Amino acid sequence: MQYLGNMSQSWLLVSAATRVLVCLNYHTILDGKSLCQPNEDIRACIYWCYYLDKLLSLLLARPASLPRLKSQPASSVQCDISNPSTVMMHVLLLVAEVQELSLDIYLHEAATDEFTAIVYRDLDDKMQSLRGSIDQAILTSPAALHTSWIDFDYGYFAIQTHISQHRLRKLGSMHYHEQCLSSARKALTMLQYLQSTVSKEPSSPEPFPSFLVWTILLFPLSPYFVLFYNVVSTSNVRDFILMKDVTAGLSRFTAANPCIDKLHHFLESLLNLCSPLVEPALSDRMSTLPQTGGVAENSGRDDIVLWTDDLMWELFTSQPSLDRLGLA
C-alpha cells in the first residue's frame, strides 16, 4: 500500500500490525540486550512498525498506534560500516524518534509552555544526532547508496520545516522564520536533485521511482506549503521556480500512479493560484538575465519578512494533513 502511495490504507495496516505486536508483548523486548538469532525477525518487525507508525501518524495527523517504547530503538541497533543496512536502519529509527516527538507537540497544541519547551529541547538534541548520523553515513557508505542518502536529506529538511512551523506558531521568532524558509528550500532542492538523477538514468522497469514513496509521499508537505505562502506574501521568483520545477518533475509519473496524479494536480493548483503574483517579476528578471541563463539569486533579504498580517501568519504556520486535503 505504501508503494502504491495509499498512505491512509498503509496506516491502517501498520496499526493492525502494531496491535498484534503489542498483544504478543514484543514491544517490551528492546531493552538494549542482544537478541538470539531466531529473534532477529521479531526485532526487524518492531523496527519497521515503529518507523512506519510514527511517520504515517504524523503525516495523517492521527494518534500513534504503538505505545512509547521503554528504550530508544535507534540505540539498540549496532551500526556496522561494512553493513550499510545496519547504518540505514539506525538512521531510519532516529527519524522515527524525531517524528514521535513532533507528534507529541502536533497533537497537544494546548500543552503547557513547560511541556512544549521540554519537547523542543529533546527535538533539538534528536535533530542534531540525526544530522550527524546522515553526514557520517554519506561519508562512509558506498557511492552506489549516495542517492538513498539524499532521500534522508529530504526527510531531514522536511522535518526541520515542520518543527520550525510549529515554533513560529508558538514563539513568532524571526530566527525560526528564516530557518523555516531555508529548510523548505533545501528539502525541495533535494527532491529536485532526485528527480534530475532519474531523468538522466536509463529507463527503469518500475512505473515510477521508489524515492517518491520515501520522500514527498511519506513526509508532510510543509516545505511546499511554506514556499507557496512565501510566494503569496513576497512574490519570490526563486521560490516559485523551485516549486514549478518540482511539480513538473512529478508530471512524468502521473499516469503510473493515481496518488501521484492526485498530488500533482493539487500542487499545480497551488502554482496556478500564485502564478499571477510572480509573472511581472519573472518577466523582468528574464529580460535582465546574463547570457549564461538561469534566474539570479535574490540580492537582498526582501523575502525574510516577519508578517504582521494575521491571515498570512496563520497560513504560513498551518499544516493541513493529507486527510484534510483529500490526498491520503
Boundary of a domain, candidates 74, 96, 131: 131
Q: Are residues 101 and 25 in the same domain?
A: yes
Q: Are residues 41 and 183 in the same domain?
A: no
Identify the band that residue 117 occupies on the pLDDT scale cut at 50, 70 and 90: confident
Average pLDDT score over residue span 99-109: 84
Radius of gyration of the chain (CA): 20
Identify the band that residue 313 occupies on the pLDDT scale cut at 50, 70 and 90: low
Average pLDDT score over residue span 273-278: 90
Identify the band that residue 294 occupies on the pLDDT scale cut at 50, 70 and 90: very low
Average pLDDT score over residue span 8-34: 83
Q: For position 142, what pLDDT does the model report?
A: 86
Q: For position 297, what pLDDT does the model report?
A: 44
The total number of structural domains in the chain stands at 2
Which tops the pLDDT comparison, 140 or 303?
A: 140
Q: Are residues 95 and 182 in the same domain?
A: no
Q: Is the pLDDT of residue 36 over 50?
A: no
Cβ(209)–Cβ(247) below 8 Å = no
At residue 83, φ and ψ (nearest 5 deg) are -125, 90
Average pLDDT score over residue span 279-301: 53
Identify the band that residue 298 occupies on the pLDDT scale cut at 50, 70 and 90: very low
The C-alpha atoms of residue 77 and residue 80 are separated, in whole angstroms, by 9
Q: Are residues 192 and 322 in the same domain?
A: yes
In a domain, 294, yes or no: no
Average pLDDT score over residue span 25-50: 73
Average pLDDT score over residue span 68-84: 84
Q: Are residues 127 and 236 in the same domain?
A: no
The C-alpha atoms of residue 307 and residue 313 are separated, in whole angstroms, by 6
Q: Are residues 194 and 246 in the same domain?
A: yes
Q: Are residues 82 and 113 in the same domain?
A: yes
| Domain range enclosing 238 | 142-287+304-328
Boundary of a domain, candidates 131, 158, 184: 131
Which tops the pLDDT comparison, 272 or 176?
A: 272
The C-alpha atoms of residue 170 and residue 313 are separated, in whole angstroms, by 12
Q: Are residues 196 and 245 in the same domain?
A: yes
Identify the band that residue 321 occupies on the pLDDT scale cut at 50, 70 and 90: low
Cβ(321)–Cβ(219) below 8 Å = no
Average pLDDT score over residue span 65-77: 86
In a domain, 230, yes or no: yes
Closest CA to 190 of 153, 221, 227: 153
Cβ(189)–Cβ(126) below 8 Å = no
Average pLDDT score over residue span 260-283: 88
Q: Is the pLDDT of residue 115 over 60?
A: yes
Cβ(95)–Cβ(48) below 8 Å = no
Q: Are residues 183 and 270 in the same domain?
A: yes
Boundary of a domain, candidates 77, 112, 131: 131
> Cell match 540505540: residue?
75
Q: Is the pLDDT of residue 324 over 70?
A: no
Which tops the pLDDT comparison, 106 or 287?
A: 106
Cβ(252)–Cβ(262) below 8 Å = no
Beta-carbon-side half-sphere exposure of residue 304 (alpha carbons within 13 Å): 14
Grid cell for residue 186: 533545501
